[in-house]
């Protein structure tokens, strides 16, 4: 929200929607056939940590999860310029090519 001065100039915001993939980095799935970002997704979605982790690992995962945004079931990483980068598993990345 912002205050608008009547008669003042308003700076336009340019929003672009891209329907193609600009860059991807496909990572292999773990041995349990879940994508590598599964732990971060579970933290953002349910606020639960993996059972095997120590307190230090939980803090590290929490800090990593703060850089991600969850929209329904789609996990996106916030880039330095505010762009949301969609997280893909290996199968989805191969389909996009």
Q: How far apart are CA 57 and CA 22, in angstroms?
A: 32
The answer as to whether 19 is a domain residue is no
Task: Determine the structural domain holding residue 74 and report its residue range.
Answer: 38-96
Residue 42: closest CA among 53, 31, 28, 27? 53
Tokens of 70: 């969850």
Give the residue with greater pLDDT, 20 vs 87.
87
The answer as to whether 15 is a domain residue is no
The answer as to whether 31 is a domain residue is no
The answer as to whether 49 is a domain residue is yes
The answer as to whether 11 is a domain residue is no
Confidence of residue 57 (pLDDT cuts 50, 70, 90): confident
The answer as to whether 10 is a domain residue is no
Number of domain units in the chain: 1
The answer as to whether 63 is a domain residue is yes
Confidence of residue 15 (pLDDT cuts 50, 70, 90): confident
β-bridge mates for residue 68, sequence order: 77
Q: How many CB atoms lie within 10 A of CB 87?
A: 23
The answer as to whether 29 is a domain residue is no
Q: pLDDT for 32-44, tens place per residue?
A: 677 777 888 888 8
Which range, 33-37, 66-70, 93-97, has the best average confidence (pLDDT)? 66-70
């Amino acid at each position: 929200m912002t205050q608008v001065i009547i008669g003042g100039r308003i700076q336009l915001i340019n929003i672009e929607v891209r329907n193609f993939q600009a860059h991807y980095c496909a990572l292999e799935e773990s041995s349990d056939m879940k994508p590598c970002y599964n732990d971060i997704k579970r933290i953002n979605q349910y606020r639960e940590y993996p059972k095997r982790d120590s307190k230090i690992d939980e803090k590290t995962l929490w800090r990593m999860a703060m850089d991600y945004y969850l929209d329904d079931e789609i996990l996106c990483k916030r880039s330095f310029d505010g762009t949301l980068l969609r997280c893909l598993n290996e199968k989805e990345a191969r389909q996009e090519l």
